[in-house]
Structures are given as structure tokens and as C-alpha cells.
Amino acid sequence: MLLHIPGIFTTDEATRIREALEQAEWVDGKVTAGYQSAKAKNNQQLAEGDPLAREISTAMLQRLWNNPLFVSAVLPNKVYPPLFNRYSGGGAFGYHIDNAVRAIKGSPEQVRTDVSATLFFSEPESYDGGDLVIQDTYGEHRVKLAAGDLVVYPASSLHQVEPVTRGARLASFFWIQSMIREDSQRALLFEMDQSIQSLARDVADHPALVRLTGNYHNLLRRWAEV
């Protein structure tokens, strides 16, 4: 399931973050790539211990854990600390699939990468190229969102970032270990949850809502890994 989640940061907040990132010290993006991915990766990243990265990450995670759409769609268990990248001057990241498990630097903890996420900080008209292209069973999806918006999609998807030929594309990327490992099960639960919320707004006293809500939680109980 691919989902656009708007407004994690407001336009003004995203602008301030982007301005701070533009002054940051960037390193070669290959430092966090696996063996195969490194062959296709040509971008820059903030070092994982960079104080600016930690500051923005803390604010991001607070927003995400309190965003009902994100929680409903992803059902997060653990989140890999967000990373930050910069594409410019033809920088790109060719087709690849994200590593299945990632170790958190400086910690014994590991995160199974069920869901990939990208949060955009550059306005789409400020750069040419840089589309996130995701392939799944329904074909090819091209993603280039407004600053402050987030996209989530299965980490098992083949995807790429096309070359940026003008300007710079600044974004954060990270992975989530969901309570629900299988994408098809997460998608079913998401559709059920959204339908229950819609019915609760339109026919709040309908007795079927209790049964539907119970079915949702029974499926979650059956499938969840916590």
C-alpha cells in the first residue's frame, strides 16, 4: 500500500528546516547503503550523529506518532532513526530494494524494514527531476510531494530516485517495523479502520459499529507482533 500523508510539517516549518539543512555538513550517501545499493547511489547525507539530524528527527517522530493517518496505515512498532539526504547536480539513486533489517547505530537494537517512508522538504517546483519512482503489482507510481508531506510504501518495493538536474532535493527517509508484517494485512486493517471512522461520523449510533470495531481488533490481535 502506497499512501500520501500531507502536512507532517507546515509550509513555514518545512522552509525553516530546509534552510537549516542547506547550511549543514553533508557526507557521501553511500555510507548507509548496502553492497548492491551502493553501486546505484549518488547523493549526500547528513551523518547519523549530526546534532541537526537528531533535532529534526525528534520533532518528526513526535508528529508521526500523533498523526492518526500514519498510525492507522503503518501500525508502527519501531521506527529507524530518520536519515536526511540531498540530491543535486545529477545525483540519483537507481532501482533498488531496501535492506530487510537495519541495525541502529550505537545500539544492539535492529529494525525490520516493513515500511519505507520519505518526507519532502523541498518544494517540487524548486528542482527538476528527483521523482521517487515506486514499482508494485499495480504498476509504476511517481511521487514528488509538497514540502512537509510524507509518502509511505512497502519496503519490499523496487524503487528509485531519478536524477536531479536543477536545484536540490532535500528529504528525510526512514523505515518502520510495523506490528503487522504483511502489507496485504496492513492494507486490510487500514481500510477497515478508515471505514469505521467514516461510519462513526455519519451514523454514530449504528449498532454494527460495535461489531465492526470488534472485528478490527480481533484481526489486529491475531496478526500483531509486539
Contact 94/160 with Cβ under 8 angstroms?
Answer: yes
E-strand stretches of 8-127: 26-28, 41-42, 44-46, 76-79, 83-88, 92-96, 101-103, 110-112, 115-120
Dihedral sign, CA of 189, 191, 194, 200? negative
Is 96 annotated among the ligand-binding residues? yes
Burial class (CB in 10 A: 0-12, 13-18, 19+), 172: buried
Q: Which residues contact 186 (CB under 8 A, 6 or more apart)?
A: 1, 73, 74, 75, 114, 115, 178, 180
Which triple of cell numbers denotes residue 187? Answer: 492494507
Is 217 annotated among the ligand-binding residues? no
Is 18 annotated among the ligand-binding residues? no
Q: Report d(CA 7, CA 108) in Å as an integer.
A: 33
Is 50 annotated among the ligand-binding residues? no
Residue 54, Cα to own-chain centre: how many angstroms?
17
Contact 155/116 with Cβ under 8 angstroms?
Answer: yes
Which triple of cell numbers denotes residue 35? Answer: 553492497
Give the annotated binding-site residues for 2-oxoglutarate. 169
Give the annotated binding-site residues. 96, 98, 159, 169
Give the annotated binding-site residues for Fe cation. 96, 98, 159
